[in-house]
Structure 1
Amino acid sequence: MKPPAHPSRAHVLHWLFETSLAIKGLLCSSEFLCGLALLLTPNAPAARLLYWLTHFQIAESPTDTLATWTQRAMEGFPVATQDFYGWYLLLHGGLKLAMVVMLWARILWAYPAAMAVLAGFVIYQIFEFQHSGSPFLLLLAFFDLLMIALIWQEYKALQAKRTAKTAAP
């Protein structure tokens, strides 16, 4: 049998879902690992590492905004703040990583739960955007809205497959 010349809409949407899950999995894994690193690294070595990473750029270009801002932020980065960000990244990344794993495992109840979790993130990102004005938050919100749509589409397809399997003799 000859394969179709063009993939079906369902095939493309499934590919987008799988690709989005892979991207989300990479991002939340790195978020989880960064949180873990912040919790396990004492404050002074973290500050020295950040200084080492940025001081060459500042020496080369004293007006480099990002490097200067990073060094100033690290100067005011007490242990309590480091712990907060460590726990936040660990829990936020861990929750999303668990969600990705359950979706890859095709656990049916995880689909509505993932949509609810992502909707909560979208609300939070839009709320924070109103305060900070960061376009990055809008980009994250857009990606999460796209994920919600893809999860919904995948959920409907999975339900239809399972219904067809149970209805077949």
Structure 2
Amino acid sequence: MSLLRGGGKDWWDWLFIAGVVLKGLDGAVEIIGGLLLLVADPAQIHGLVLQLTQPELAEDPKDFIATHLLHASGGLTGSAVAYAAAYLLVHGAVKVVLVTAVLLNKLWAYPWMIAVLLAFIAYQLYQLAVSPTPGLVALTVFDALVVVLTWHEYRRQRERRFA
């Protein structure tokens, strides 16, 4: 039986489902981004970012996000794009597979989800030590919350199955 079916859900259930679904959507966006990186060259990516950030930069030439996106896209090389595409595709696919398995209530998927998220958190903490950003802090906190929720739900599912 899937976690998405059935009544009698408490706030833990709904919080867990919301966190896991958001993690799955994040994985889907990463897959789409990875596929887009595979078909676009660095100049096209920079042109797209320039087009997307131009209205914001016209309004506020020092806009934090727009200036950083523009700077990052201007420094892209072929190998950086290939690495980013591979990273996003693998990262996204792992998340989507695990989220799907967890939502289908596959007990084996819970420890895997926790382990994968802890590995992501470890890498993110390294990245935070090297070059901290508010977005990475938020992502790391969100991943930690999903780990706690997944652990809690895993314990509940095991108790229900083996009681």
The one-character-per-residue Cα deviations of 1:39-64 (angstroms, maximum 9, x if unpaired) are 12233322222222223443444444
Counterpart for residue 5 of structure 2: none
Is 2:33–2:85's contact at 8 Å kept on the other side of the alignment? yes
Q: Which runs of 5+ in 1 are unaligned?
A: 1-7, 165-169
Q: CA deviation at 1:25?
A: 1.3
Matched AA of 2:112 = A
Counterpart for residue 34 of structure 1: 33
How many matched pairs? Answer: 156
Relative CO higher for 1 or 2, CA cutoff 8 Å, sep ≥ 6?
Answer: 2
The one-character-per-residue Cα deviations of 1:56-105 (angstroms, maximum 9, x if unpaired) are 44344444444344333322211111111111111111111111011011
Is 1:129–1:135's contact at 8 Å kept on the other side of the alignment? no
Is 2:42–2:73's contact at 8 Å kept on the other side of the alignment? no
Counterpart for residue 122 of structure 1: 121
Counterpart for residue 74 of structure 1: 73
Matched AA of 1:144 = D
Counterpart for residue 5 of structure 1: none
- Give distance in 1, aligned partners of 2:64 and 2:17: 38
CA spacing shift, 1:69–1:18, aligned 2, 3 Å: closer
Matched AA of 1:136 = G
SS across alignment from 1:133: coil
Matched AA of 1:83 = A
- Give distance in 1, aligned partners of 2:65 and 2:142: 25
SS across alignment from 1:108: coil
- Give distance in 1, aligned partners of 2:31 and 2:93: 6
Matched AA of 2:19 = S
**Normalising by structure 2, what TM-score?**
0.84
Percent identical among aligned pairs is: 35
Counterpart for residue 24 of structure 1: 23
SS across alignment from 1:13: helix
Look at both structures and tell me which one has the larger radius of gyration over its CA atoms.
1
**Normalising by structure 1, what TM-score?**
0.81
Is 1:99–1:110's contact at 8 Å kept on the other side of the alignment? yes
Q: Which runs of 5+ in 2 are unaligned?
A: 1-7
